Amino acid sequence: MAYTVHDLLKLPILSEAKIVAGENGQKRLIKSVSFLEGPDSINWVMPHDLLLTNAYPLYEDPNLKKNFINELAAKDVSAVAIKLNRFMQSIPEEMIQQANENSFPIIILPFNATPSQLIGAITKTLFSAKTSQKKALEGIQADLMYDFFCELLFNKNTSKSMMLRRGTSLGWDFSKAYSVMMIQVNELNHVQKMLDVINNLSTAHGNFIFQYGRDIFVICEVNSPVDAKSYLTKYANEIKSKCQSEISGLDIIIAIGRPYANLLDLPRSYEEAQKSLSLEKWADKENSIILFDNLGIYKILCQFNDREELEKYYQDTVAKLEKYDQENHSEYYQTMETFVKCNGNFNETAKNLCVHYNTVKYRINVIKRILGIDVEDPEKRFDFQIGMKIAHILIIKK
């Protein structure tokens, strides 16, 4: 059954939502829902995607507004749903005009609805509309399991006693350890085939697999916490190898949270898998598989909730060099980053940057003047290295 923007607006959670432009596009099909996080996220949207956003990408890159709606319409996106007041007070006239010209709906979201609530409600509705995916799961039991894990992982206000009763009635053993595996795929149209492949693999592992939004989730039972890392890595490699052998052009990233000895602690594993995905660009990963346990210092930094203190450390270490590069169109940050990776070795840094040894010496002396510290001192270099990692954490915490 086709699911449209018109159907979407009938959801109880969207009872206070309103279309402010592109009203003639209410028959546009919706096949998936995504949250638009940064300006470059627009490059990854898919046809028939419903985009949710707090307008941060438009705040971060004001030039994006000029052609934002035209670009989304050209990509056959279903609609964009925006939460106002934080990064945008009202919809710019140029966006309204583009939306009306393209019959592309702009929806204002209710202020009190959170992104996780919206994505959960919409995905659940889309899930029920996809009869093909329902066939991949097995009847009512699978639907109940899907509801159970959506509630457990994505609803922070769930009653633990109620979840314990529901999980027990579904046959889950609360004395065993479980881990959350999240799989991101480059093409949304590969997801259904991947679900079939992973479901076939999972019969040997006794795991539960489902799609939520754009991601595939695997609830992994871990028999021995001691061997958890090797078991989960081996299983993830099996999934990756099998899927890529059967699906042409597939590119996937797999993130894995730590196992916990109680199923009710699974949201912690989910948060760790999420953080691992967010840090994918900088994480130590093997074969596109990222374990939270392998994130090193990031594991500690991403638990740190005092943004002001993180910001101060960043300003005291890295910010000056980044600002200098921006103002002078230079690349001293890249030199310093490589110098840190090479443990302060000038020859190795020169080799990695493909420049002369004396060029590195000159650049390091300039960096010393900009930062006001001796970056040849291992302690100062370590401070800078932590500052770089904090910069990454600040990006994912925006």
Which CATH superfamily does the domain covering 130-301 fall into? Reverse transcriptase/Diguanylate cyclase domain (3.30.70.270)
Reply yes or no on whether the pLDDT at 347 is more than 90.
yes
Q: Which residue has the higher pLDDT, 171 or 51?
A: 51
Kindly state the average pLDDT of the residues 216-232.
Answer: 84
pLDDT > 70: percent of the chain: 90
Which residue matches tokens 């898919």? 46
In this structure, which long-range contacts are made by residues 125-133, counting pairs with CB atoms below 8 Å and at least 24 apart in sequence? Answer: 125/3, 125/7, 125/8, 125/11, 126/3, 126/30, 126/31, 126/32, 126/33, 127/211, 129/1, 129/2, 129/3, 131/1, 132/192, 133/192, 133/195, 133/211
CATH code 3.40.225.10 for 307-396: no
CA 88 to chain centre: 23
Q: Please give the average per-residue pLDDT across 171-199, as a whole number.
A: 86
Distances in Å between the Cα of 323 and the Cα atoms of 56, 265, 373 are 22, 42, 16
Whether pLDDT at 137 is above 50: no
- The DSSP secondary-structure symbol of 63 reads G
Q: Write down the pLDDT at residue 130.
A: 63
Asked if residue 298 lies in contact with residue 393, where contact means CB atoms within 8 angstroms, the answer is yes
Q: What is the pLDDT of residue 179?
A: 93
CB-facing half-sphere around the CA of 185: CA atoms within 13 A: 25
Residue 140's pLDDT band, with cuts at 50, 70 and 90, is: low
Sorting pLDDT into bands at 50, 70 and 90, what band is 136? Answer: very low
* Per-residue pLDDT tens over the stretch 261-270: 888 899 999 9
Percentage of the residues of the chain whose pLDDT score is greater than 90? 27
Highest mean pLDDT: which range of 39-53, 139-153, 197-211, 245-259:
245-259
Per the prediction, the chain carries an average pLDDT of: 84
Q: What is the pLDDT of residue 305?
A: 66
- Answer yes or no: is pLDDT of 271 > 80: yes
What is the C-alpha to C-alpha distance for residues 314 and 112, in angstroms, rounded to an integer? Answer: 33
**Mean pLDDT to the nearest integer, 106-131:** 81
The average pLDDT across 329-354 equals 91
Supply the pLDDT for residue 1: 55
Domain boundaries, the chain: 5-116, 130-301, 307-396
Is the pLDDT score of 120 beyond 60? yes
Predicted pLDDT of residue 82: 92
Residue 80 pairs in a beta bridge with 51, 106
Q: How far apart are CA 100 and CA 24, in angstroms?
A: 8
pLDDT tens digit sequence for 240-253: 999 889 888 888 89
What pLDDT is attached to residue 261?
Answer: 87
CA-nearest of 385, 370, 358 to 330 is 370
Whether 183 has a pLDDT exceeding 50, the answer reads yes
pTM tops 0.85: no
3-state secondary structure of 159: coil
Q: Calculate mean pLDDT across residues 103-129.
A: 84
pLDDT of residue 97: 94
Taking only the tens place, the pLDDT of each residue in 83-106 is 998 888 899 999 999 999 999 999
What distance in Å separates the CA atoms of residue 191 and residue 180, rounded to the nearest whole number? Answer: 18
Determine the 3-state secondary structure of 219 from DSSP: strand
User: HSE-up of 314 (CA within 13 Å, CB side)?
Assistant: 18
* pLDDT of amino acid 180: 94
Q: What DSSP string runs through 200-212?
A: HHHTTTT-EEEEE
Q: What pLDDT sits at residue 339?
A: 92
Which among 35, 27, 26 has a CA at the least distance from the CA of 106? 26
Judge whether 120 and 127 are in contact, CB under 8 Å.
Answer: no
Whether the per-residue pLDDT at 346 is higher than 80: the answer is yes
d(CA 149, CA 140): 14
Q: Which CATH superfamily is domain 5-116 in?
A: HprK N-terminal domain-like (3.40.1390.20)
Coil vs helix vs strand at 339: helix
Among candidate residues 302, 224, 216, 316, the one with its CA nearest the CA of residue 261 = 224
Count of helices and strands (H, E) across the chain: 18, 10
Of 127-131, 298-302, 351-355, 394-398, which one has max mean pLDDT?
Answer: 351-355
